[in-house]
Copies of this chain bind each other. A is one copy, B any other.
Amino acid sequence: MKVAKFGGSSVSNATQIKKVLNIVNDDPDRKIIIVSAPGKRHKNDVKTTDLLIRLYEKVINQLDYQDKKREIIQRYADILEELHMESTLLETIDETLETIIKQLNDKHDRLYDALLSCGENFNAQLIAKYNDSQGIKTTYLSPKDAGILVTDLPQQAQILEDAYDKIYKLREIEGKIIIPGFFGVSKHNYVVTFPRGGSDITGAIIARGIKASLYENFTDVSGIFKANPNVIENPELIEEITYREMRELSYAGFSVFHDEALQPLYKHRIPVVIKNTNHPEDKGTFIRHDREVTDKNQIIGISCDKDFTVINIKKYLMNRQIGFTRRILEILENYHISFDHMPSGIDNISIIMRSNQIKNKENEVLSAIRKKCDIDELSIDHDLAILMIVGEGMTQSVGTANKITHALAESNINLKMINQGASEISMMFGISRENADKAVLSTYEYCYHGVCLKNLCPK
């Protein structure tokens, strides 16, 4: 039994929806379908979710929101018309939106989650109805009816462990099941959205719940590239990747499949495949617990994320002071800052975090460190990009670091930081933001094609 999830661009209009249903109906094993809200139909289009955010903003600012509401309804009206369906659903949509706005007008957090969930929710209802009308038994299930019971904090939904038992019973329902992605329902009966990678997470939860043999994640690409296609022209596709590798790549910017969605799958070893709705015949990329490592595929991918900040602290004889680092971490914790890495020397330590973690708190945090830790020097650098080279067992083999540092040196890229050690499957290099793309290009060409990009080097 398989779970298939379709992203926003796969369900943005009638043509796409028909493709999706062809795929779904083509395989009797494709039992449960998770759909997103209608995405962009063309480059300058606006996603339904963004239309819903605009509606939310009008409402909370007590402005006239009717135009915004009409735009949303129109998206579904277009799809219904193209599919030659009755327009009765539009009245339900209008009523639902008005009811939400009326009931949650004074609870902005709840209103936000409830309005945003509509994008997926209406689409799921529409698609289920259409497929059923084509003679294939198809049931729409709300996340509540499907058993997606989550924690109560707005925008931070986490599945409750006991939800899985109810979800397992979905196996007994006859025909296809269509469930909207992106949200669950709390014990207090509020709609709560998932923090990141919303619909991917719904799919993963359902796949785990029904103990699926495969979780198919349909997008608009034929799999995961070995490097960012905005940086590398026609990068190679990854055939197989492990959960762990996927997480490391996601961390530094690979956004095809969100790493948080791997969590429900990880322990139960449910494989994922990333496939292309427009080319379902393509093999796609499999995400599994294990893979066979050869010399050729040892480095599975290269990614680079540009938004990191580093705090550098110097303190003479730091390594002799028991408790020094702990005091600094306590300060970060008090400001709810999660840091990522902490390379240290004898008399100095660097604390690396995503720039958004310290945004708007910088001065407070730095002065707290100055006040509470007896330090010699303190500086902050917002210009850090992190290049991740990922591959199972990579660091166990002699010469990998040499390969990467060679490519970077030939391209005249200075290494602000190297962090290798704790993870056996990745190496991390801190570089200037301006070198980020050049670093991906030079390591990609050297690792996969043995080409050394000296021409990148202005030396």
Contact = CB atoms under 8 A, between A and B. Distances in A.
Interface of A: 244, 247-248, 251, 263, 266, 312, 316-317, 319-323, 325-326, 329-330, 332-333, 336-350, 395-399, 401-402, 405-406, 408-409, 412-423, 425-428, 430, 459
Given A333-B322, A399-B409, A423 B248 contact: no
A332 B323 CA distance: 9
A345 B398 contact: no
A419 B346 contact: no
A352 to B, nearest CB: 8
Nearest to A337: B322
Given A415-B395, A421-B430, A422-B312, A319 B340 contact: yes
Given A323-B333, A397-B414, A419-B418, A345 B426 contact: yes
B319 A422 contact: no
A361 B247 CA distance: 34
B427 A346 contact: no
Contacts of A396: 414
A266 B343 CA distance: 24
B338 A319 contact: yes
B342 A333 contact: no
A420 B338 CA distance: 21
A205 to B, nearest CB: 16
A263 B316 CA distance: 8
6 tightest A-B CB contacts, nearest first = A345-B423, A417-B421, A343-B421, A399-B409, A402-B405, A326-B329
Contacts of A340: 319, 344
Contacts of A421: 343, 350, 416-419, 430
A409 B401 CA distance: 8
Which of A316, A413, A415 has the largest count of B CB atoms less than 10 A from its CB?
A: A415
A427 B418 contact: yes
B320 A325 contact: no
A311 to B, nearest CB: 10
Contacts of A244: 347
Contacts of A343: 341, 343, 419-422
A346 B428 CA distance: 10
A338 B316 contact: no
A422 B350 contact: yes
B397 A346 contact: no
A28 B397 CA distance: 60
A420 B418 contact: yes
Contact of A326 (B333, B413, B415): B333
A249 to B, nearest CB: 10
A413 B325 CA distance: 31
B401 A418 contact: yes
Contacts of A428: 345
Contacts of A426: 345-346
A314 to B, nearest CB: 9
Contacts of A339: 325
7 contacts: A322-B338, A341-B344, A343-B419, A345-B426, A401-B409, A401-B418, A402-B409
